[in-house]
Amino acid sequence: MSSKGQVVIPARMRRALGFKTGQALTIRQTGPSTATLSRPDQRDEIDDMLARVRGYAATQASDPVEALHRRRRRERSLADKKHGPRRP
């Protein structure tokens, strides 16, 4: 590891793992002195987004899902008043 915290991954290993120049990588600590390096996939991004949403929701006094349902009902009601009831 360099003094700047940079880690060198040998070219042979980068090719074998399919890592590309400039690609984002995920490092996860797997033990006291070990880590796993991987390409972040869409699942990781979704999990991160859900964790942020859950964190935000925990700080709110109301249920965000119920708030969304109320908003949708209000929007439908306004649309029905403007254009008439929707047909099934």
Mean of the pLDDT values across residues 38-48? 75
As a residue count, the chain comes to 88
Q: Which option is the CATH number for 1-40: 2.10.260, 3.30.160, 3.30.420, 1.10.3470?
A: 2.10.260
Mean of the pLDDT values across residues 55-75? 85
Q: List, by residue range, all CATH 2.10.260 domains of the chain.
A: 1-40
Rounded (5°) CA angle 43-31-44: 5
- What are the residue ranges of helices labelled H in the chain? 11-17, 42-58, 64-83
pLDDT in tens, 22-41: 888 888 888 898 888 887 77
